[in-house]
Amino acid sequence: MAVIRQVQITFDCAEPERLARFWCEVLGYAVVPPKGFASWEEFNRGRFPEGDGAWCACADPTGAGPRLFFQRVPEGKSVKNRVHLDVRVGTGMTGEERLAALEAECTRLVALGAVRQRLLYDGTDSCIVMQDIEGNEFCLD
Same domain, 12 and 67: yes
Domain that holds residue 127: 85-140
Buried/exposed code over 79-100 (b: 16+ C-beta within 10 A; e: otherwise): eeeeeebebebbeeeeeeebbe
Give the pLDDT confidence of 45-100 residue by residue, as tens digits: 777 666 577 889 999 999 999 999 999 888 888 888 888 999 999 999 999 999 99
pTM, to two decimals = 0.87
Same domain, 13 and 65: yes
Same domain, 99 and 52: no
Same domain, 13 and 62: yes
78 domain-assigned: no
pLDDT value at position 74?
86
Same domain, 64 and 97: no
Choose between 47 and 105: higher pLDDT. Answer: 105
3 domain-assigned: no
Given a cut of 80, whether residue 40 has pLDDT beyond it is yes
- Residues in Cβ contact with 67 at an 8 Å cutoff, skipping those fewer than 6 apart: 6, 8, 9, 32, 57, 58, 59, 60
pLDDT value at position 98?
92
Same domain, 31 and 64: yes
Same domain, 65 and 17: yes
pLDDT value at position 87?
96
1-5, 76-80, 126-130: which has the minimum mean pLDDT? 1-5
Same domain, 62 and 93: no
- Choose one of 32, 50, 72: the last residue of a domain: 72
If pLDDT is split at 50, 70 and 90, which confidence band does 19 have? very high
79 domain-assigned: no
Same domain, 103 and 53: no
Same domain, 23 and 59: yes
Residue 112's Cβ-side half-sphere holds a number of Cα atoms within 13 Å equal to: 21
The tally of domains found in the chain comes to 2
Same domain, 55 and 31: yes
